[in-house]
Chain A
């Protein structure tokens, strides 16, 4: 179980949990018609480094026209959605987007996720006083969001902040997952390469088939 503080430090901080955060999926325009798709995530956690957020806040709080430059200001804040743990285990947490995720049915893997031993997931169990259900962060899902939006909605949508150590653990594991190196499979386990139709040529490893056609 993690520890949380339910007040906030007067600015957006690392480990903050916000409710109802939008992610702009796309904007398309054809003549005078505009279509915009927005994904709303019920809960997200802020992953951006706290010192960066503190420096940004310090710069923003300076009076207009003062200060040498805007070097420390951030363009966005990196956040990751929190999903209902049980829905993640069932593979249904993205059902509303028409996506079926791989469920995690076996007890052994669930146990590993709960112990944060699988690099892709971070399991978060809140104290009963917070009134939030056990949740999972999937490190494959993250997006930048507007800092001003979080500031503006903080009074209504700020839920709590994950306490020290627990909050550092999350971006640390996220960074480690993001920086993993995907090695090519062994020849023995790789699926057999399909010859190109007609020529019988096989595209070299690592090269897109379309780029090898002449």
Chain B
């Protein structure tokens, strides 16, 4: 996805999935989405359409007394 493949691009999600992308997101199809700065909720939209890939989230914390 980092190589210029947007989260809604046909290159990234495949042709059959691309057919499911609503028009509202077509304008974003060539843009890389940084999950930390996802101001339009595009990652969430991709999740809801079932076209997102699985992802790993690592949580680091300090525990005190």
- Which residues of A are at the interface with B, using a C-beta cutoff of 8 A? 19-20, 25, 29, 32-43, 81-87, 89-90, 92-97, 131-135, 159
Contacts and interface: CB of A to CB of B under 8 A. Distances in A.
A87 B13 contact: yes
Given A20-B47, A32-B64, A33-B62, A134 B57 contact: no
B14 A135 contact: no
Given A32-B62, A34-B61, A134-B16, A25 B51 contact: no
B54 A39 contact: yes
A49 to B, nearest CB: 25
Main secondary structure on chain B at its contact with chain A? mixed
A90 B64 CA distance: 46
Interface of B: 1, 13-17, 20, 46-64
Given A32-B62, A35-B60, A131 B55 contact: no
Contacts of A135: 50
B55 A84 contact: no
Across the A-B interface, the 4 shortest Cβ-Cβ residue pairs: A86-B14, A133-B17, A42-B52, A36-B59
A32 B63 contact: yes
A84 B57 contact: no
